[in-house]
Amino acid sequence: MDLLKGCIISVVLIIVYWFLWRWRNKRVLMLATQLPGPTALPILGNALMFMTKPEEQLKKIAALLEQYGDYIRFWLGPDLVIVIKDPNDIRCLLTSNKMNQKGPAYDYMTPFIGKGILTGGPKWRVYRKIANPSYNKKSIETFKDVFNEEAEALTNVLKRRDNNIFNVYFDVLQCTTRSVCRTLMGLSTDDIAELKYLDEVIHETQNIYSLIFTKMTRWWLQIPFIYWLTGNYRKQLYYQRIVDGLITEIIEKRRKSLSNEENYGVSVVDRFILNGLSETEIKLESFALFTTSQEASAKIASGVLLFLAHLPEWQTKVYEEIVQVMDDDSVSEEQIRGLENLDMVYKEVLRYLSIAALIQRTVEEDVTISNGKFTLPSGTVVAIPIHEVHRDSRFWDEPLKIKPERFHPENQKNRDPNAFIPFSLGAMDCLGRVYATTLIKTIVIRVLRHVELSAEGKLEDLDLHVAISVKFA
């Protein structure tokens, strides 16, 4: 009897809460009805629709876009989510000063990188302003020698490979990691050799991302007890421990160098130290920039090499262009700018393998879209499905095929430039876009000068793994 009474009281309280919530949010509900989208259940909203495998959730969004068009509305419990696929509205929203906070999905990354440059938060502008000089063109010019040396080392590794099939990503990841350590982290080669946790962090990086994405997309893991019971919290603590160990070592080495006035203030870690950030802030922001710089660069660089291996005619074009432009092996920024064919392949990789499959922003003030037709109320979560925009047949001829020629200047004239946003837009765009582009192209140029690439099968037949980013499965 007591159990029945408790159940009845619970149901009544839930119903009362639901009606109170609807009354308090009647304006938001009214504005939400203006947008198309699936019917929402009381309290749960459309959450049941997304109770599926993580890799299926973005497919659900793609299906909704196919059904409803460029604007769709759905509810995840009390949270209103608006997915927007129209390129012009995407540009307006991402460059608006009314949307300078990330969405709730980024909160799942905070145990590793805190509230900062990548995830948003109250001080993200401060952190970005401090880090920015390490990513500008002047700084990247000083990184040229390191990029060339590490790309040469990678080339020598690949030259020693036999003719058996192998995954080039892991060799490239070693190259990009050492490049990031020697530039953004400010370490010497001797410093790198002394890092006890570096190899372990490199090995576990994909597992860290997988843990974050799994918790992000499986609601039951967001219940602390279940997260602990399934062993995922124990994994998280282990990952946090090795990440903290690595970054602590890096910071200690930079503090020692700064006290001796060695390489004064060049690395991004130095800038965080010299600007008086707390030890926790330095660790979180340093790892955020470390992991995004080395992992994303490795994914795209290995993607370019894989594309060239599968497209021998483009490999020949790029190789001949490199030989024509370059006098020796050392790669400069001026030479990179002259390699048009390489740029086309690079951009097609960015289109096909989006660095971020979907990004979120939170509306801080009411904003209108679709020429004033719809109003997004404050507090709305806006989702930008970059992966889907990059595969929209309105802007891309045969979007599921790999065609670098689509980025030839003549073929881009009639395409909406806002349909290609690999590095996002606005104040919260990718800080490392110039850094990554220079490093990736340097790697490809140095490798292609001395290694002929080949692969079996067709690129389009390779399965894609769509999660935080898009990569081949």
Residues above pLDDT 70, as percent of the chain: 96
How large is the average pLDDT for residues 108-114?
94
Query: What confidence tier does 263 reach under pLDDT thresholds 50, 70, 90?
Result: low
> What's the Rg (C-alpha) of the chain?
24
> Per-residue pLDDT for 418 more than 70?
yes
> Per-residue pLDDT for 17 more than 90?
no
Least confident of 92-96, 257-261, 346-350, 371-375: 257-261
CB-facing half-sphere around the CA of 161: CA atoms within 13 A: 19
Q: How many angstroms separate the CA atoms of 299 and 124, rounded?
A: 25
How large is the average pLDDT for residues 274-282?
95
Q: Which amino acid is at 372?
A: G
| pLDDT value at residue 186 | 94
φ, ψ dihedrals at 369, nearest 5°: -135, 175
**Annotated binding-site positions for heme:** 430
Encode pLDDT of 232-244 as tens digits. Answer: 999 999 999 999 9
| pLDDT value at residue 313 | 96
| pLDDT value at residue 228 | 95
Query: What confidence tier does 326 reach under pLDDT thresholds 50, 70, 90?
Result: confident
> Per-residue pLDDT for 217 more than 60?
yes
Residue 119 lies inside a defined structural domain of this protein? no
Domain that holds residue 325: 34-101+129-185+280-472
Residue 76 lies inside a defined structural domain of this protein? yes
Residue 61 lies inside a defined structural domain of this protein? yes
Question: Who has greater pLDDT, 322 or 44?
Answer: 322
Average pLDDT across the chain, whole number: 90
Number of independent structural domains in the chain: 1
Task: Write the DSSP string, 327-353.
Answer: SSS---HHHHHT-HHHHHHHHHHHHHS
Least confident of 284-293, 424-433, 460-469: 460-469
How large is the average pLDDT for residues 436-450?
95
Residue 134 lies inside a defined structural domain of this protein? yes
Query: What confidence tier does 466 reach under pLDDT thresholds 50, 70, 90?
Result: low
CATH, residue 308: 1.10.630.10
| pLDDT value at residue 167 | 83
How large is the average pLDDT for residues 406-412?
94
Identify any residues that bridge with 368 across adjacent strands, giving them in sequence order: 375
> Per-residue pLDDT for 468 more than 60?
no
> Per-residue pLDDT for 131 more than 90?
yes
Least confident of 38-47, 48-57, 87-96, 449-458: 48-57
How large is the average pLDDT for residues 198-215?
92
Residue 162 lies inside a defined structural domain of this protein? yes
Encode pLDDT of 281-311 as tens digits. Answer: 999 999 999 999 999 999 999 999 999 999 9
Query: What confidence tier does 433 reach under pLDDT thresholds 50, 70, 90?
Result: very high
| pLDDT value at residue 339 | 94
Least confident of 7-21, 135-149, 182-196, 264-278: 7-21
Query: What confidence tier does 29 reach under pLDDT thresholds 50, 70, 90?
Result: confident
Residue 26 lies inside a defined structural domain of this protein? no
**Annotated binding-site positions:** 430
Least confident of 13-27, 113-127, 145-159: 13-27
DSSP code, position 133: G
| pLDDT value at residue 223 | 87
> Per-residue pLDDT for 38 more than 80?
yes
How large is the average pLDDT for residues 445-469?
79
pTM, to two decimals: 0.92
| pLDDT value at residue 416 | 93
Question: Who has greater pLDDT, 219 or 125?
Answer: 125
| pLDDT value at residue 1 | 58
> Per-residue pLDDT for 176 more than 90?
yes
Residue 248 lies inside a defined structural domain of this protein? no
Tell me how crowded residue 157 is: count the other CB atoms within 10 A of its CB: 16
> Per-residue pLDDT for 2 more than 80?
no
Least confident of 23-27, 381-385, 448-452: 23-27
> Per-residue pLDDT for 84 more than 80?
yes
Instruction: Report the alpha-carbon angle 466-351-473, nearest 5.
Output: 30
Buried b (16+ CB within 10 A) or exposed e, 208-243: bbbbbbebbbbeebeeeeebeeeebbebbeebeebb
Residue 179 lies inside a defined structural domain of this protein? yes
Give the list of residues 6+ apart from residue 41 with CB closer than 8 angstroms, or none. Answer: 48
